[in-house]
Amino acid sequence: MPVNKMTDSEIEIKACYTAEDLVALDLNHDRPGQFPYTRGVQPDMYRGKLWTMRQYAGFSTAEESNKRYHYLLSQGVMGLSVAFDLPTQIGYDSDHALSEGEVGKVGVAIDSLEDMELLFKDIELEKVSTSMTINATGFILLAMYVALAKRQGADLNKITGTIQNDILKEYAARGTYIYPPKPSMRIITDIFEWCSTSLPKWNTISISGYHIREAGSTAVQEIAFTLSNGKAYVEAALAKGLDINVFGKRLSFFFNAHNNLFEEVAKFRAARKMWARIMKDLGATDEKAMMLRFHTQTGGATLTAQQPLNNISRVTIQTLAAVLGGTQSLHTNGYDEALSLPTEEAARIALRTQQIVAFESGAPDTVDPLAGSYFVESLTAEVENKAWELLNKITAMGGSVSAIEQGFMQEEIARSAFEYQRNIENGDKIIVGVNKFTIDKENPVPGFKIDDSIRQLQTAKLAELKSKRNQTKVDQCLSAIKAAAAGSSNLMPLVVEAVETYCTLGEIADTLRQVYGEHK
């Protein structure tokens, strides 16, 4: 008896697919650039414009990260993607006791506008699209970016980029939250409202399935939970009286690309179709407000410390999945990231992988090249159906916030992660170089480590900053933020003014802690 083949989402794969499998799917009406956008959000997709090639980078100090950004821009990167260290992500300045051992380690340390000025030194913000992976303190980093753009004399109507700003997935999968869900949602809707008039081309949220997948979810869970979270943000904005046809155009998504090429392509196609229907049901009438636009990052959890050069092949497959699935933006991981931050060589090879797919593979030459495939169309329908089942279950529970508070998403992800690991350990799932095709001795790969002295440098910079700023103005700005947080005024103008006065990230975050408390 032949063994049944299953995807990690427990979708059975038949030995052969035929035209009969497509009869019930009614694919004749699907056109790229038309509702429900299964085949892509643009009629000509990459024939008109390639996806934005990003490289996620940030480490040590702002000065050191700035050097890497200039290098990446010189190598053909089209957009920057900023990684922030853990203290920055959870609202602590580098000199805080809880920051010890973490400053500059997993990203760049940003304590004040002064650091932001150094991070983007000699980079014109009007001419580069910047993505910032930051959530709980996203509003503060966005304020710093805007303050810097103003100092450069940039036209804020031309500033483009994305702030992740997705707090719900932090409660479900990642853990870098500060405030409880309700005030966190209020901050997010303040950003939606303020950007709609003050920063109209900025993507106000990147609703992230990436970290849900990294935590161990399946492809189906990734899109079901992510789209459910997206729906919760839209409903919160509607409750505040915002126009879905305005803020809906500035929503973007962030997905993971794993190794199962065809399931990943089907996932991206199904997600577009589902989001279009969700937005239409919520009242969107503008086509652009129904389009799911997304950034993709290749799967960090798929990288192995064993035989790390094998990761180049994995990243290539994942790059193809993202491109064949119609991504708008892409970051490719370095082959050495299971061991350390990526070296310059690894970052360059990762970028070259995108460039080879773009200019040598032929994959971008036609729109949705796998459309009509008996297998891919059937798999897209299967992924969609399973994702709707899960999403409808969350809706019946009262939506994402309620499902998270009840632990439903967390338990589902944990179960899938356990099953995946068990299958690796019992050999049902082969990971090349890990549980099969291993070698006795491996050549060491040079790592890239961050020195603990970075905290001392940042602490000294903070002390100097505080000695020369106008403390009276600082106190006034923080008091104004506290009053607005306790009331209903939009926080963003006050936070922009505060960072311009050189209030630090930690001071602003602590001011809101006094009002909102911390989520436990």
Residue 316: the pLDDT is 98
Token pair, residue 452, equals 């603990």
Q: How far apart are CA 254 and CA 264, in angstroms?
A: 13
Q: What is the pLDDT of residue 238?
A: 97
Q: 356-387, pLDDT tens digit by residue? A: 999 999 999 999 999 999 999 999 999 999 99
Cα 135 from Cα 58, distance rounded (Å): 16
pLDDT in tens, 39-80: 999 999 999 999 999 887 778 889 999 999 999 899 988 888
Task: Give dist(CA 388, CA 365) in Å, integer.
Answer: 32
The C-alpha atoms of residue 198 and residue 178 are separated, in whole angstroms, by 26
Highest mean pLDDT among 3-12, 59-68, 392-401: 392-401
Lowest-confidence region among 274-283, 301-310, 316-325, 444-453: 444-453
Which pLDDT score is estimated for 60? 86
Burial of 246 (0-12, 13-18, 19+ CB in 10 A): middle
Task: Return the number of other C-beta atoms located less than 10 Å from residue 71's C-beta.
Answer: 15
- Whether residue 340 contacts residue 449, with contact meaning beta carbons closer than 8 Å, is answered with yes
pLDDT value of position 79 = 84
Q: Which two tokens stand for residue 409?
A: 């998403």
77, 54 Cβ separation under 8 angstroms = yes
Instruction: Describe the crossing of helices 310-324 and 344-359 by its angle, rounded to 10 degrees.
Output: 40
Q: Do 312 and 335 form a contact (C-beta atoms < 8 A)?
A: yes
Confidence label for 1 from pLDDT (cuts 50, 70 and 90): very low
pLDDT value at 184 more than 70: yes
Confidence of residue 446 (pLDDT cuts 50, 70, 90): confident
pLDDT the model gives residue 29:
67
Average pLDDT, the chain: 95
User: Are 38 and 272 spatial neighbours (Cβ–Cβ below 8 Å)?
Assistant: yes
d(CA 362, CA 360): 6
Which amino acid is located at 206 in the chain?
S
